[in-house]
Homo-oligomer: A and B are copies of this chain.
Amino acid sequence: MSNHPPVNQVLLGDCIEMMNSLPEKCADLIFADPPYNMQLSNALWRPNMTKVDAVDDHWDKFASFEAYDKFTREWLTAARRVLSDNGTLWVIGSYHNIYRVGAILMDLGFWTLNDIVWVKKNPMPQMKGVRFCNAHETLLWVKKSQTQTKYTFHYREFKAGNEDKQMRSDWHFPICGRGERLLVNGVKAHTTQKPEALLHRVIASTTNPGDVVLDPFCGTGTTAAVAKRLGRRYITIDREEAYVALAKERLDGVIPTLEEPRAEVFVDAPKPRIPFVSLVESGLLAVGSRLRFGNTDIYASVHADGAISAGGYCGSIHKVGALLLGLPNSNGWKLWHFTDPETGEEKLIDALRPSAVVKK
């Protein structure tokens, strides 16, 4: 295998073997929708196709849980190897498998960022009236380790797209409907095809354009299709030739929708980081000028080196502010006010930061 991963391809084969043949740390994001076929079918029948009738035949169930756990550990271990050190991983599942997957993720050292519930607008009803209608699925979003500090998350952008409120852990989407669902000879091509809207939120929120998105359980290729549409690269794997063929055909029809470049000024973005002293150096604040602490009677005087003096303390705007507040730390930019020499208005020194950058 080359040093460069085979991007924008649908690979045929066992996902564990295929991932192990890819270069290390080549994926920026992994999204996985693994099978969970261990209970409803397997647990009812023994391997020799006799029906399990014992009331508490734990052996059979235990064996199939173990097999599922082994499979899960193996594909997650392979996934971990190909995941970039700044990458994150998503797994989707239902109550049949997600608890086992979640526990194994923790055991392998992954660290949970969020669990997300996909609340279905139109779930399959509960036919027999013996349970609550199962109207959601669960996604786990994890990083490689507790100590990993960097990962991609477009918090600010999704907040802007969500009525200026931070995006929550409950996501509301309809299930994959008739217009979206892939059919082969009039019957659905895959039983658990996921809606593109769900993958859109996953990929758009936790990757950047150009990133490599890996899906080890391709199916109809929804992950790869949304990745391609959003200008990401993809690698996806399935061991069924039929799915590989289907996904390739689907992907051929996907045209990336190019975003225009983002405007320079993001409203509500943090101010540029500048040293406080540059306000003094640039003349925006005169040496010796006075800063009011909040709306109190406490004033600080500005020194030529960017330190300030107030209440008997000399130090940074942050440290002096924190001491006056009795807190371990503070953001001095949001505490101190200067008097605008033109209007006589009192304003936060925070308002001077953009000017200082322009002046540089």
Residue of B nearest to A114 (CB): B132
**What is the minimal beta-carbon distance from A152 to any residue of chain B, in angstroms?**
11
Q: Is the CB of B136 within 8 A of A170?
A: yes
* A102-110, A183-191, A274-282: which lies at the interface: A102-110
- B129/A114 in contact, CB under 8 A: no
Query: At the interface, yes or no: A21 with Cβ under 8 Å from chain B?
Result: no
A146 within 8 A of B: yes
A330 in the interface (beta carbon within 8 A): yes
Q: Is the CB of B58 within 8 A of A123?
A: no
A43 to B329, CA, bound (A): 12
**When A109-B58, A147-B55 are in contact, do A169 and B135 touch as well, CB less than 8 Å?**
yes
Contacting residues, chain B, for A116 (C-beta < 8 A): 132
Binding site for B on A (CB under 8 A): 43, 49, 55-56, 58, 61-62, 65, 95-96, 98-103, 105-107, 109, 112-117, 119, 123, 125-126, 129-136, 138, 140-141, 145-147, 153, 155-156, 159, 166-170, 325, 327, 330
* Alpha-carbon distance A58/B155, docked complex (angstroms): 30
- A172 to chain B: closest residue by CB: B170
Find chain B residues with CB under 8 A from A119 CB.
117, 119, 170
In whole angstroms, what is the CA distance A131 to B65 when docked? Answer: 32
Checking B65, B114, B136 against A106 with a beta-carbon cut-off of 8 angstroms, the contacting residue is B65
Contact call A325/B106, Cβ cutoff below 8 A: no
**Can you list 7 A-B pairs with a CB-CB distance of less than 8 A?**
A56-B109, A99-B102, A99-B103, A99-B106, A100-B106, A133-B166, A133-B169
Chain B residues with Cβ under 8 A from A114's Cβ? 95, 131-132, 134
Known contacts A117-B119, A147-B55, A155 near B169 by CB under 8 Å:
no
| A332, chain B: closest CB distance, angstroms | 12
Q: Cβ of B109 and Cβ of A129 under 8 Å apart?
A: no
CA distance A95 to B169 in the complex (A): 11
CB of A171 to closest CB in B, whole Å: 9
